[in-house]
């Protein structure tokens, strides 16, 4: 399915949908991590932001339950150069696409994330919109320009929990003789 990312400066990128269908908006930023996309997706500090991953392929090791920084994804949207369709990890419970779809995160892939990152480095963060399906890029640019700026926004209310709770760390699976550790690690 077609997807478009449009920025407030008038730039837009056409790619393919890589998560939930629909439309999302936020401040477009980038992350240069080579791994850890699940941690980025669930990091509360990315609330209200569309995160662009600069690594060439994202999703190749799938999504594992113990790798989340919070209980649900916090990003407004997700951008990748290439989205892996496979989850090649014995710990993975799903593919990245399945995870994004299940959590209603609109994502786009098959765009030039290097060019997007260079634009963001030069101009600074910009407001943007990702939409899937048959969309008018010009109309999305206008929507991006109409998004309120994040400066002064109280994003904590949207990512904090209702009450204190004990964080239970999931025990590692012991694989005797593999060097992968024991539950006591």
Residues 120 and 91: beta-carbon distance below 8 Å: no
Tell me the fold of 2-148: Glucose Oxidase; domain 1 (3.50.30)
User: Would you kindly state where each structural domain of the chain is located, as residue ranges?
Assistant: 2-148
Q: Which of 141, 61, 75 is nearest to 103 (CA)?
A: 75
Q: How many CB atoms lie within 10 A of CB 84?
A: 18
CA distance 170 to 183: 9
Q: Of 87, 88, 104, 118, nearest to 41 (Cα)?
A: 104
**pLDDT (tens digit per residue) in 100-149:** 999 999 999 999 999 999 999 999 999 999 999 999 999 999 999 999 98
Please report, in tens digits, the pLDDT of each residue of the chain (185 residues total): 999 999 999 999 999 999 999 999 999 999 999 999 999 999 999 999 999 999 999 999 999 988 988 889 999 999 999 999 999 999 999 999 999 999 999 999 999 999 999 999 999 999 999 999 999 999 999 999 999 987 877 777 777 777 887 867 655 554 444 444 444 44
Q: What is the pLDDT of residue 170?
A: 59
Helices (H), the chain: 37-42, 96-102, 113-123, 137-146, 156-159
pLDDT for the residue numbered 158:
73
What's the predicted TM-score (pTM) here? Answer: 0.85
């Amino acid at each position: 399915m077609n997807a478009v990312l449009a920025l407030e400066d008038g730039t837009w990128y056409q790619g393919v949908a890589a998560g939930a269908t629909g439309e999302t908006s936020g401040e477009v930023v980038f992350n240069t991590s080579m791994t850890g996309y699940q941690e980025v997706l669930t990091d509360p500090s990315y609330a209200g932001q569309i995160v662009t991953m600069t690594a060439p392929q994202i999703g190749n090791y799938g999504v594992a339950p113990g790798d989340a920084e919070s209980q649900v994804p916090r990003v407004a949207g997700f951008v990748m150069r290439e989205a892996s369709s496979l989850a090649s990890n014995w710990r993975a419970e799903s593919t990245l696409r399945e995870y994004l779809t299940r959590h209603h995160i609109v994502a786009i892939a098959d765009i030039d994330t290097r060019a997007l990152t260079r634009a963001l480095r030069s101009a600074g963060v910009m407001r943007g919109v990702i939409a899937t399906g048959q969309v008018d890029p010009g109309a999305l640019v206008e929507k991006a320009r109409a998004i309120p700026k994040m400066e002064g926004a109280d994003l904590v209310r949207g990512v904090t929990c209702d009450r204190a709770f004990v964080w239970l760390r999931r025990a590692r699976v012991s694989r005797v003789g593999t060097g992968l550790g024991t539950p006591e690690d």
